[in-house]
Structure 1
Amino acid sequence: MKRFVLVLLCLGAIASLSSLFSCSSVFAQSLNEKVYTIAERQPEYPGGPTALSLYLAENIRIPNALLRKNFNTGPISAKFIVDNLGFVHDVRITTKPLDKKAQKRMQGYLTSIITAVEKMPRWQPGEVGGKPVAVFYTLPIEVNLQ
């Protein structure tokens, strides 16, 4: 786990540096496979962004405790890898900093997001040089609890 977090931090640093040097083929070594942070063609959910929104709306369950209290979840992102075959794996969730009480309230909700993302159908993989490649993808998740 510590190693994965370190890799993610390195990926973030590399992505930041890539914008400075205008490098279009930034990648990191993970599990003996290159995982790009920037691809010539980004991965795409089958059916596009509208189909992705519908899928998430149908598969993410918001716990009643969050609905009753009208809890502000703040910005949430699912970060994952879309491999060269289009499969999603290594799902991680990022949120605003939460206190222990809020973490307990959000536990079921975050688990629901991870489950929904892991069960996504195959994506159209990203491409570099016309060949499918693994791409690290960040998906912002917006929820309106009202």
Structure 2
Amino acid sequence: MKKLSASIWALCGLWAGAAGAQALPTAVPASQASYYNAQGRLVAHADSADHREEMVFQSPAGGQLRIYYPSGRLRREVAYLDFTQRIKQGPETSYYETGEVKSRCRYQNDVPVEPYVQYYRSGSVRCRTNLKSGFFGNSGVAFTPEGKPLKYDRQTQVKPTLNGGGDQVIVAAVASRVSYPPDALLQQKSGRVFATFLVDDAGFVRNVRILKSPSPLFNATVLDAVRALGRFEPGKMLGEPVDIFFTIPVSFKLQ
């Protein structure tokens, strides 16, 4: 017998990714475009797409992932060492549709090595989140547009929702998609997997990572479950959509 359970924390500042890169082709082109619908699902043609994402190859395995607004303007760009393995190496920057920097972070071998900083259009810091230690070391600060420390409450910040529901709906959606790996059952493995992900300012799931796991055998099913969540209603700070991080522990128990 097996039992699965999950619970959740979220963080954007203090609330305590991504559309999947496609497999590398045999002959590496200069770039490769993919198209996604309004729910973040891969579609075959631009005519049925909400937006496009483009891999620009700077080596046989990696380069820049560029994500665009439906208008065609650049929305986010991420440096990858390896697209297939989803290993980030370098800066990740998002932009307002009018071109100003909206957020910035830097990764080394897929680990964030700088705080995740979000900005107002003016260039002043909106919030700064420390991701270096995952959930266990998360800390963040936020500011008003004038630079004053921002007190967190339901009026200043609203968490993302999924299909109209909050944490319980998100937990149930993840748990329903997780299966106990057969090899883990054979080896009598159990324990909790901690995964983190970003719900970006448009509601798409990105930056899905495993923070801690009792066995690599569990990781794939948890990652796949989170990536399959679909599009959220994005979180907001002072009424404006922002990026918000979640950390989910998923329990695998043998009975």
Normalization by structure 1: what TM-score?
0.65
Measure, in 1, the Cα distance between the counterparts of 2:196 and 2:209. Answer: 5
Measure, in 2, the Cα distance between the counterparts of 1:90 and 1:80. Answer: 5
Which consecutive unaligned segments of at least 5 residues does structure 1 have?
A: 26-37
Matched with 1:60 is 178
Which consecutive unaligned segments of at least 5 residues does structure 2 have?
A: 1-87, 91-106, 117-128, 144-151
1:50–1:145 Cα change, 3 Å:
farther
Letter in 2 for 1:62: Y
1:113 matches 2:232: no
How many positions carry a matched residue from both structures? 121
- Counterpart mapping for 1:6-25 below 5 A: 6-7=113-114, 11-12=130-131, 15-16=138-139, 18=140, 23-25=141-143
Q: 1:45 aligns with which of 162, 166, 187?
A: 162
Which of structures 1 and 2 has the larger relative contact order (alpha carbons within 8 angstroms, sep 6+)?
1
- Contact 1:24 1:40 (C-alpha < 8 Å) held by counterparts: no
1:139 matches 2:254: no
Matched with 1:33 is none
1:140–1:50 Cα change, 3 Å:
same
Aligned-pair distance for 1:2?
A: 4.6
Letter in 1 for 2:211: T
1:136–1:120 Cα change, 3 Å:
same
Q: CA RMSD, aligned part only?
A: 3.0
1:12–1:90 Cα change, 3 Å:
closer
Measure, in 1, the Cα distance between the counterparts of 2:160 and 2:246. Answer: 8
Matched with 1:126 is 235
- Contact 1:40 1:129 (C-alpha < 8 Å) held by counterparts: yes
Measure, in 1, the Cα distance between the counterparts of 2:209 and 2:131. Answer: 14
- Contact 1:93 1:114 (C-alpha < 8 Å) held by counterparts: yes
- Contact 1:79 1:91 (C-alpha < 8 Å) held by counterparts: yes
SS at match of 1:144: strand
Measure, in 1, the Cα distance between the counterparts of 2:220 and 2:171. Answer: 18
Fraction of identical pairs, as percent: 26
1:70-120 Cα shifts (integer Å, max 9, x gaps) = 3123x3221111011111011001115x6xxx44xx1xx311111111111
Answer 1 or 2: which has greater helix percent: 1
SS at match of 2:194: strand
Q: Which has the larger radius of gyration?
A: 2
- Contact 2:190 2:252 (C-alpha < 8 Å) held by counterparts: no
Measure, in 1, the Cα distance between the counterparts of 2:196 and 2:159. Answer: 14
Answer 1 or 2: which has greater strand percent: 2
Normalization by structure 2: what TM-score?
0.40
Measure, in 1, the Cα distance between the counterparts of 2:208 and 2:178. Answer: 15
